[in-house]
Structure formats: C-alpha cells, structure tokens
Amino acid sequence: MDPIYLRSAGVSLVVNCEAGQAQIAHFGPDLGDALPQLDALTPPIPHSALDVPTVAGLIPQASSGWLGRPGLRGSFLADGRPGYGFSPALRVQEVDVQQSAATITQRDDALGLTIASHLSLHPGGLLELTHTLTNHGTDPYQLDELAAVVPVPRHADEVLDLTGRWCRENHPQRARLRQGTWVRSGRHGRTGHDSSLLVALGTAGFANRSGQVWAAHFGWSGNHEQFVDALADGRRLIGASELLGSGEVILAPGESYSTPAFFVSYSGAGLDGVTEQFYHWFRSRDHHVETTTGRVRPVVLNTWEAVYFDHDLDALTELAAAGAAVGAERFVLDDGWFSSRRDDTSGLGDWVVSDEAWPTGLTPLIEAVNGLGMEFGLWVEPEMVNLDSDVAHAHPDWIVGPDARPGARLPLEWRQQHILDLTHPEAWQHVFDQLDALLRENNIAYLKWDQNRDLTEHGSSGRPSVHRQTWAAYRLLDALRAAHPGVEIESCSSGGARIDLGILERTDRVWASDCNDALERQTIQRWTQAVLPPELVGSHVGPTHSHTTGRIHDISFRAITALFGHFGMEWDIRQASEAERDTLARAIALYKRHRALLHSGTRVNADLTDESLRLHGVVSADRTEGLFAAVSLGTSTAEMPGSVPVPGLDPQRTYRVVVELPTPADADYADTFTQIQPPAWVKKGALTASGAFLEHVGIQLPILNPEHALLLRVSEA
C-alpha cells in the first residue's frame, strides 16, 4: 500500500500503512514532489528486543510492540466488571484520501473495536487530528483513554509550555527534554488557569524567529492531559487526551466516542511560524468573527472595575457618555443586574432582571447606550448557581456533587457558588429558556459569558460527569447562537481559565485575564496570542492604579498594551484627568485607524538579548506596513538599548518609521524616557530605511523608563 502523502504551505505529512499498521512516518518540512521512500525509515532490530521492528502507530499499541504510553486504554465489561479487551490489535481496514485530508479506519475484528482517524493538513500548514472509537462488540466497553499523538524527531530536545494562575495566565517555562514521560494534567473541569495553551518541542535554543519547532494544542474545555513520551529507543511522541474519570465513558454496543481535535504545527522559522499557521486556520473559518459580521471589532467599555455591583441608572448613563466621548462603541454591563445579586453571595442561576436594581428594567440604560451610538452587552454566568437563589431552593437536585443520594454533601464552595448540572435536561432547558427570553426581550448585542470556578468533585447521577457537562455547555452555546445569530459571545472564566479551540468554536473572543495591569498583560497577551489572533483576545485599558496588583502605570503604556488585541476599557473614565482622556482618545483613534491591520496581519516578535526589553508587532499580509511596540519590562543592565531589529518586513522595500505614541503632545511623554536627548532619527521625526536594514541592523530606540512603551508605525516610503 502506498504511503499517504499530504503537503501544504511548506509542510508535509507521511503516513505509512504497510503491513496493516498505520503510523506517521514524517511530519515536518516539505519533502518535495516525489513519493517518500519508506524503506529508509525501517529501523534495525537491537539485541534483547522483539523479533520484528516496533511500530509507533497512529494509535500506539502493545500489540505492535510499543512500550511507551498506549494510545487506547479500556476494557469490555462482562457482568458489569472489567473482563477482556485491555490490549487491542487494531489493524488498517480502509484508507480514504481526499486532497489535503485522509481517514484511516483500523479495526480489531476479534474484539469488535474500530477507530477511524481523520487527519487534515490545512492550507496554512496546520495539522488537525481526531479519532472516533466505535464499539461493535456485544458487551459495553469502558473507555479510560483515547489519545492523539504525533511523532517528533529526536533533535527536538527542548520543551516549552505555558502555565499560570489567576491574574497571571499563560506564562512560559522551558526545559531540556529527558528520557521518560513528561505530563501536564488538567483536573479543573475547565481548561484551567495553569493549562498550557501551547506545548512546543524544538531544536536547542529555538526562539521567536529561529529554530525548528513542533507545537501542539488540544481543543477541549474539560479535563485533559498533554504529554511528551520520550522512549529509551530514542523515539518521541507529542500527544494529548481527554482525562476521563472512572467509568465516565462507557460505550454500549453500537455507540461511539470522538476525541477533541488535536492541532499540531511544524515551523522551520521558530515560534512565529507556529503562530502564523494558527492565525491562518482561525481566519479561514467560515464563522470567524470578522468573516461572519463583516465588520471590525468595536471598542468596548466594560463596567466591572468602574462600578462593580453598584448599579445606578444615572451613574451608568454618565459612564456610557464618557465612554462614547473618547470613542467607545460597545457598552457592557457586568455582574449585578439580575435577581438578588447585590454581591457575590446570591442570585446566580436566576437570569431575570432585578426589580430592586432596575425597577423599570434594562430598557432605559439600553436606550441611553444605543442613543450614544453604542451596542449594549451584558454579563452572564449560566453554568453556575448560588445556594441562595430561586433555582437552588426549588431544585437542589440540579446542583453538581459527588453523591446522587438525597441530602448528600456538596463540593466545597468557590466564590460562594456551585455548579448547575447542565447534563440534567430540565436544568439545561431552564437556563436556555431564561437566556433566550432575556435576548428576545432586550436589545442585547453581546454576552460576556463567565465561568468562575473549577468543577471539583463534578458528578451527576453518582458518576463523574465533566465530559458530559462540557458537551452540555457546548450545546447550550450552540443553541443560543442558533436562536440569536446576531449576538456575539465572549468566553470568560475568572479571566483566562477557559481558553481553548473547543470553546472558541462557539464564542467570538476570550477574556485573557482578570488582570488589567499593563505590565502583567504584556506577557499574558504575548503568549495567549502565540495561538489566538488579537481580534479574539480582549485587551482593556484598566485604571491608573491596578485593582489586582496595586501598580501604577501611565496612560500611554496601558493604551499601547491594549492596542494589540480587541481594544477596550475597564475603568471609571469619569475620574480620568483631561490629559488622560486626551491620550486615551488618541489611542482609540489609532486603534480604529489600524485595527484592520492589527486583526489581519502577521504577528512578529523580535529576538532580543536584553530580557528587560521586548519588541513585537503586526505586519500587513502584503508587508507594506506594520505597527510595533517597544516595551521596557524593567531595568536593564545596559545603559542604552542599542540597535533593536524590526522583523517581518520585505527586505527589498524602503520604509518610513515614525513614533505614534507617546509624542510631546501627550501628558506622560516626559515620564516615558530617561535621556538627555533622543536618538537622531526620533529627533528628526522619522527614519527611512530598507526592510533588510531594519531587520538585520535595526534602529536605535530611545531609553525607556521601566514599565513604559513606545508605539512605532512603519509604512512603505
């Protein structure tokens, strides 16, 4: 049988199906037009080993000699107990290849198990892999794990992944890969603040724009594991799987289970090449937000850090007017508008407008907001419930817990709330009906959909149910979007605790973090945007004095940081000084002028030796223009920043570089720099140079004070 050979955008995939066993023989650089010769890849047989070469299959199996982590774990239940079938022998039954995709069906006839594996090499070079397991046997099959894996070469010996916590999501950590199994487990019932949005393996010292990199993302919003299996024989697999509870998935005869999508990227040009592949995939989707709406992303004003639970029509109308005056286009009323919700102890689950807070309903505020030329948005948290709520009093059996018996204990509270069991049909319908009525009865263009706690001890009917709860939440989002196709939905989860490609198939942006501190946001946004394009990442200008860290930052630094995302404000701008409002209005005007570039271009990150300095930007697809931020994260060991590369431009073109923000007209201009005079080109007002010069020689930056930034605009001269 000829190998499966898929090619796209400088990447190729080779799958060998000889001898009835499917295995990925190559995923990496393009191998050219000729069909690969697989004899070159057949390994030798060492001493003290099996008598045939060991196959690292598409589904790694002990029956093929694999001694690492198995791809499928489970067994059939005989008389309700595990009985047989713990070690399947899946062999290729059918192969269907169609242009850039292939489906490989493998079956164990003796057991009655079939796995259909679908591989798509997308036009931008991103690989997507899913498996569907079907039980054709006569007994139930208890599934413990079904993993998606892709082999990587042994010279990919350095691993980078992301971790974090509340208000510090998506921070990188990296180490040299050692023999053994490297595992990251997520048991939060949601993606998790510490979940790795990206796991990357690469050649030693791989960087933003250099080195070979294989990077993976698992598109699932529930419990999961990501891993690298490095065996003693030198082979390495990168993989991921849903982390199932005991007895959580039992397939009756004829039933199937499908894995979440596993996305893998190969780049020969560092991490920026990985980012480019993910951006291409996102922006090629039919339902990508700018594709479906046909418009750019509006400037947001969110009320949370401005008023918290203190809802007053006059105050909020004043806030909306202040937002509209600086250029806001969408006004979002956050927590506190419904039921008994005057603080975070009650009301969750009762999605009806509060008579106490809003005696005449939301209509007066909505009409005031619309009259100012802005859309109206609303905060909801449909998957959660307070014990002090009408729904909890009426239906205590709708609350998730480890024990289904009446009066059994509940999980520990988190932010004084519990989880509503959306796997219960009546509970699901209750939430849908209330939200559907809310959207039908009010002119709401946007929902900020929050989810503020981990799903600890998550059970329904006495069995673990994170898998079913995740799918129930997906179905709820799908149903509401079908009923109200014009409403956009943001995925928020205590900030960035549910950011993955599973939830983003159903939402229009994410809230990257509850932290609006611009210094923290520089790292959070850089690594969130390693996978997600900026139009999907909410990025707001917070208060001068950060509510989550206590730091104080100038308006230019906060505005430049927010510019590289879906721009917004979460600040009582009524309290801003006139100078701050002027700079904020200038930044919003810059965002509106350049958001088509920001939300369609290629993200680039310069490789700098000074860890206190960062330069990142977005370059247009035709490389005629770009917008860059030079950021000082802290004090430097060097007296001057020196020449800094401006990457990603066309080396043959000539460009003009100017400073956009801050300028001498801005109130914080003098505080941004620590120098007697700026570099000559800044003093003159512009620099003209070729793209080759800008990338390989670079430009002299002004000496920035710590925790300040400079916005540069580059355009073809």
Q: What is the DSSP string of 233-252?
A: TS-EEEEEEE-PPTTSEEEP
CA–chain centroid gap for 371, Å, is 34
Give the residue from 284, 311, 336 where a domain finishes: 284
The pLDDT, as a whole number, for residue 553 is 98
Nearest Cα neighbor of 377 from 486, 296, 483 is 486
How many whole angstroms separate alpha carbon 613 and alpha carbon 630?
Answer: 7
Which amino acid makes up residue 579? A
Residue 715 is encoded by which pair of tokens?
């355009």
Give the residue from 545, 573, 596 where a domain finishes: 596
- Classify residue 570: in a domain, yes or no: yes
Using CA atoms in the order 428, 433, 438, 444, what is the torsion angle rounded to 10 degrees?
A: 70
Domain, as residue range, for 498: 299-596
Q: Are residues 365 and 489 in the same domain?
A: yes
Question: DSSP label at 624?
Answer: S
- Classify residue 45: in a domain, yes or no: no
- Classify residue 186: in a domain, yes or no: yes
Q: Are residues 248 and 359 in the same domain?
A: no
Return the CATH number at 330.
3.20.20.70
C-alpha angle 311/560/193, rounded to 5°? 65
388 as an active site residue: the answer is: no
Q: Are residues 75 and 203 in the same domain?
A: yes
- Classify residue 121: in a domain, yes or no: yes
Q: Are residues 133 and 240 in the same domain?
A: yes
Q: 631-689: per-residue pLDDT in tens?
A: 999 999 999 999 999 999 999 999 999 999 999 988 899 999 999 999 999 999 999 99
**Active-site hit among 139, 335, 450, 666:** 450
Question: DSSP label at 702?
Answer: P
Q: Are residues 179 and 101 in the same domain?
A: yes
Q: Are residues 272 and 356 in the same domain?
A: no
Instruction: Answer for the pair 172, 148: CB distance below 8 angstroms, yes or no.
Output: no
Q: Are residues 489 and 511 in the same domain?
A: yes
The pLDDT, as a whole number, for residue 293 is 56
450 as an active site residue: the answer is: yes
Question: DSSP label at 40?
Answer: G
The pLDDT, as a whole number, for residue 37 is 78
Residue 3 is encoded by which pair of tokens?
């190998």
- Classify residue 72: in a domain, yes or no: yes
Could you give the C-alpha distances from 671 to 428, 664, 667, 674, 704, in angstroms and in order? Answer: 54, 11, 9, 8, 9
Q: For the chain, which residues score pLDDT lower than 70?
A: 291-294
Which amino acid makes up residue 479? A
- Classify residue 10: in a domain, yes or no: yes
Q: Are residues 280 and 423 in the same domain?
A: no
Return the CATH number at 686.
2.60.40.1180
Give the residue from 259, 284, 309 where a domain finishes: 284
**Active-site hit among 144, 514, 554, 668:** 514
Residues 411-448: b if buried by 16+ CB within 10 A, e if exposed? beeeeebbbbbbbbeebbebbbebbbebbeeeebbbbb
Return the CATH number at 202.
2.70.98.60
- Classify residue 464: in a domain, yes or no: yes
Q: Are residues 493 and 562 in the same domain?
A: yes
Q: How many residues does the chain have?
A: 717
The pLDDT, as a whole number, for residue 289 is 84
The pairing of strands 113-121 and 537-541 is unpaired
Q: Are residues 590 and 686 in the same domain?
A: no
Instruction: Answer for the pair 53, 42: CB distance below 8 angstroms, yes or no.
Output: yes
- Classify residue 290: in a domain, yes or no: no
Q: Are residues 581 and 638 in the same domain?
A: no
How many whole angstroms separate alpha carbon 359 and alpha carbon 715?
Answer: 53
Q: Are residues 329 and 431 in the same domain?
A: yes
Count of domains observed in the chain: 3
The pLDDT, as a whole number, for residue 292 is 54
**pTM for the complete prediction?**
0.97
